[in-house]
Every structure is written in C-alpha cells, then in structure tokens.
Amino acid sequence: MQLRPPPDPALPAETVPVTARASSRAGRDEEFTAFMTQAAPALLRTAWLLVGDAHRAEDLTQQALVRTYTAWPRVRDGNPTAYARRVLVNLRTDTWRRRRREVLSPPDELPDLAAPQDTTTEDRDQLDRALQRLTPRQRRVVVLRYLVGLSEREVADDLHVSVGTVKSTASRALASLRDSLTDPSTGSTS
C-alpha cells in the first residue's frame, strides 16, 4: 500500500482524486449530522417561539439547517449553532417583512417545550396572546434574550444591532408584556 500526501487545497477540485473528495464529503456529512442532531431541538424551539406554528417552525428550521450545511466548511470551526440561529432569525425576518400581521396557532401545537409545573394553560395562553401583541423586533429580542437564554451581547450580534438597542427594546417589550398581563381592574396578574 502506497501512502499519498493529502491533496493540496490550493489545487482545483478536479485535480483531487475522486476517492479523496468522497471520503472528505462523507466525513463532512457525519460531522454535520452530529451537529444537526445536537442543535435541531433548540433551533426548532426558537423557530416555534418566533413563528408560533409547528409546521412553519419545522420548515424554518429545515431551511436554516440546509443553509448551515451549505456553509459548513466555513462555519464548522467557529460557532455553528450561533450561525444556524442567525440564519433562522434572518429567514424569519424576511417573512416578517412580507407579512404585516400573522395569527399564531394554538399553544397546544408547541413542540416539546417544558413549562414550569406551576404554570397553567390559561397563563401560557395569556402569555402567548401578549407575545403576539409585540412588534416583530420586540418579539425577536424577547424570544432570544429570555426564552432562548442568550446574553444581551449574543442577541445584539444575532440581530446586528447594538447592545443598547437590545436593552431598550427589551425594556419596552417587557413593559408592554407587563401591561398586557396585568389585570386593569385589580392591578395584579391573573
């Protein structure tokens, strides 16, 4: 058996032996499959929180993963989860630009979200309705910051805005949520 040196990346792909390209692609596929298995549930949850519909969330997640796969050689050594999440938010932003108002599906379609034990269905429904009343930007910030758990810096990076914008948007969104969730007749939450 004769060992050959690895192909020179500076050479055009046509000069790389077919077997080397095939094994390289198989390794890439295995690596991406492992990433996808690990990252897909969190991406699906984020997508559902952004679109409010299980089927659209699945489509959005699949589109984000396809784009991440296409860019895999470039992003795999960095933070591919952040890249995939950024693609997800960008895809969702594109649809927000096309649609002014959307109706969310019932919360019972929520895929695999663990709710705190003391939260009632009525409370979750009320929160869902309150989230629907937020502007698209406010909703993105609330979802990424408080429901996905990103830091202010990570949200700012994902949305290509400053940390100050994230803070002010979050503050306004939380005030709006507080107003929506407060019973005006008693001044307390339901």
Domain ranges of the chain: 38-93, 121-190
Q: How far apart are CA 100 and CA 46, in angstroms?
A: 20
So what's the pLDDT on residue 21?
A: 44
| SS3 label, residue 189 | strand
Task: Return per-residue pLDDT of the chain as tens, 190 residues.
Answer: 444 444 444 444 444 443 444 456 777 889 999 999 999 999 999 888 888 788 989 999 999 999 999 999 999 899 999 999 999 988 887 766 655 444 455 555 545 544 445 567 777 778 778 888 888 889 889 988 888 888 899 889 888 899 999 999 999 999 998 888 885 543 445 4
Angle at 179 between CA 173 and CA 185, to 5 degrees: 175
Return the pLDDT at 32. 92
Contact 144, 165 (CB under 8 A): no
115 token code pair: 């709710």
Say how far apart CA 173 and CA 139 lie, in whole Å: 7
The fold of the 121-190 domain, in CATH, is Arc Repressor Mutant, subunit A (1.10.10)
Q: Is 17 exposed, middle or buried (0-12, 13-18, 19+ CB in 10 A)?
A: exposed
Least Cα distance to 135 among 184, 170, 84, 167 occurs for 170
- Which residues lie across from 182 on neighbouring strands? 189
